[in-house]
Amino acid sequence: MEVEKMNNFFVHYFNVLIDYSPRVVSAILIALIGIWGIKIFRKVAERIMVKRELEPTVIQFISDILIWGARILLFVTVISRLGIETTSFVAIFGAIGLAVGMSLQGSLSNFAGGMLIIMFKPFKVGDNIEAQGETGKVMEIHIFTTKILTAQNQIIYIPNGVLSNGKIKNFSQKNMRRSDLIVRTGYDSDIKVVKNELESIVKNHPKVLKSPAPEVTVNELTDATVNFAVRVWVKNADLSSVNSDILEQSKSIVKL
């Protein structure tokens, strides 16, 4: 009697396995073909975006979204082929998404900030910016943070949430900048002579641009000094060296 029950048990589940095996085989084939298709899809999508000359950060971001979306679709297709109800999975994913969203509100804010930066492009990789009290060169733009290299060779990561909502100075969007210097001299100096010599310095400097024309004006009369405002236009890369040269050459003509 026991032997007959065992035989019936094995026969039943063997028949179930035979009936169910086509679904398993087809699900495995769909998974393998889907994985291969996702790889091809990613390469084609990235090539199209490269041809359209999108920035690397945008390409990586869009590529990741497309691939994860395709993977989720493939997963749902495979489990549906196996005969598993997908409604339960949808409910589980929804609950997980709600829990994660509640616990990661700051990260979601940074994610949204990263989206805004990528879409509206207030700066790009390689730009020199000033934001959140930090100044440096943008090295990488991630989804949650932006990586900046300062002049002191320090790496700073700024959350994209506060970065996108704050003030950003981009020194690289234009290829030239105006340098504003103050040169002080005493009342014993001849103002006209000092002004003429300052004008000669800036006009003869090889890195000072001719247009817009440089300006030298009396900026302020204090109790002890006459302050001259020296305004010159230079290329971004020449700003520091031009400032240093003008101040150094001005030393010989001012008297304090």
- Which CATH number does the domain housing residue 78 bear? 1.10.287.1260
Residue 114 lies in a domain: no
The whole-number pLDDT of residue 120 equals: 82
Two tokens, residue 118: 């990528």
Provide the CATH number for the domain around residue 187: 3.30.70.100
d(CA 128, CA 243): 18
Which residue carries 């700024």 as its tokens? Answer: 158
Q: Clarify whether residues 40 and 127 are in a common domain.
A: no
Provide the edge-to-edge strand list for the sheet that holds 215-221: 176-186, 225-235, 215-221
Q: Strand, coil or helix: what is 167?
A: coil
d(CA 111, CA 106): 9
The whole-number pLDDT of residue 111 equals: 79
Provide the CATH number for the domain around residue 159: 2.30.30.60
Q: Clarify whether residues 89 and 130 are in a common domain.
A: no
Residue 31 lies in a domain: yes
d(CA 59, CA 96): 28
pTM to 2 decimals?
0.61
Residue 64 lies in a domain: yes
Residue 45 lies in a domain: yes
Question: Which residues have CB under 8 Å from 73's CB, separation 6+?
Answer: none
Q: Clarify whether residues 155 and 99 are in a common domain.
A: no
**Tens-digit pLDDT profile for residues 89-145:** 666 666 666 555 555 455 677 878 888 887 788 998 889 999 999 999 999 888 788
Provide the domain count of the chain. Answer: 3
The whole-number pLDDT of residue 114 equals: 82
Residue 225 lies in a domain: yes
Low-confidence stretches of the chain (pLDDT < 70) are 1-20, 55, 57, 84-107, 256
Contact, 201 vs 211, CB < 8 A?
A: no
- Choose the final residue of a domain: 170, 205, 227: 170
The whole domain housing 57 covers 2-103
Residue 128 lies in a domain: yes
- Choose the final residue of a domain: 170, 189, 209: 170
d(CA 250, CA 241): 14
Alpha-carbon radius of gyration of the chain: 33
Q: Clarify whether residues 45 and 133 are in a common domain.
A: no
Q: Clarify whether residues 91 and 46 are in a common domain.
A: yes
Q: Clarify whether residues 182 and 156 are in a common domain.
A: no
Q: Clarify whether residues 162 and 219 are in a common domain.
A: no
How many CA atoms lie within 13 Å of 118's alpha carbon, on the beta-carbon side? 22
Q: Clarify whether residues 98 and 12 are in a common domain.
A: yes
Residue 255 lies in a domain: no
Q: Clarify whether residues 162 and 181 are in a common domain.
A: no
The whole-number pLDDT of residue 96 equals: 62
Which residue carries 């990235």 as its tokens? Answer: 46
Q: Clarify whether residues 158 and 194 are in a common domain.
A: no
